A = this chain, B = another copy of it.
Amino acid sequence: MPIRVVLVGARNPLNIGAAARALSNFGLIDLVLVDPYDPSWREAKSAMGGKGLLAAAPVASSVQEAVADCSLVIGTASIRDRLLKLTVRRLEQGAKLIKRHQGRVAILFGSEKTGLSNEDLSLCHWLLRIPTRHEHESMNLGQAVAVTAYELAGRGEAAAKVKPVEQKGIGSLELDRISGRLFDILTVSGYVQAKTAGSSRLKVRRLLRRMDLQASDAEVWLGMLRQISWKLNQP
């Protein structure tokens, strides 16, 4: 299932650059543009690391040409497309089908303003929908491409087993209180040296955060430290 991403009639060079960058981030390097609106798109500044991909991207004169060697063509759905008879699949489900497909797959993204035309949609086998919430469905083009590429790239390697964390964590404010108190103690006790005080403070913070302190222990800790501090500051 080699995957080609086709941007159809994208208007904003920055969006084209952002899309190229996200594709490059996730290793999808077959990008084709159809009818980009602005002739300066190849200079898209926001491309950054996606520059190579953008420079190499062919421009097709039509969607048909762009997908000619693809045996599965998938459109990205906007709200109005639900009126069509095309099957709409959620990104997660759709990605599974795409990975199983034997042959090249094209995924079409429409322009920022109008999405894919009926003409474009008529070339699609089915539609892919990113499950945004009902109240605010429409995504930015570069972000839609990024999310799609992330899912298609398998979200990284297979998930490792993760141990559940059940205890109620300690609040940052309290953690800082403990951390600050401990740092004061270490300073007064001569453990922290003046010239490395800055980095020592950060080390203490990190140390405490690695401990996974429970909320129920915070008061105990503070009590202990307060006591040590009092003792250290006695004349």
Contact = CB atoms under 8 A, between A and B. Distances in A.
Interface string A184-213: 000000000000000101110110011010
A141 to B, nearest CB: 10
Contact of A140 (B27, B136, B142, B156): B142
A212 to B, nearest CB: 8
Interface stretch (A35-43, A68-76, A224-232): A68-76
A77 to B, nearest CB: 13
This protein's copies in its complex: 2
B165 A97 contact: yes
A234 interface: no
Contacts of A48: 138, 140
Given A91-B155, A118-B202, A142-B143, A103 B162 contact: no
Given A138-B49, A166-B100, A209-B124, A150 B171 contact: no
A34 interface: no
A83 to B, nearest CB: 12
Interface of A: 18, 21-22, 24-27, 46, 48-50, 64, 67-73, 84-87, 90-93, 96-97, 100-103, 106, 118-119, 121-126, 130-133, 136-140, 142-144, 146-147, 150-151, 153, 155-157, 159-160, 162, 164-173, 176, 199, 201-203, 205-206, 209-210, 212, 215
13 contacts: A21-B139, A21-B143, A25-B136, A25-B138, A48-B138, A70-B171, A90-B157, A90-B159, A122-B201, A126-B209, A130-B150, A142-B142, A144-B146
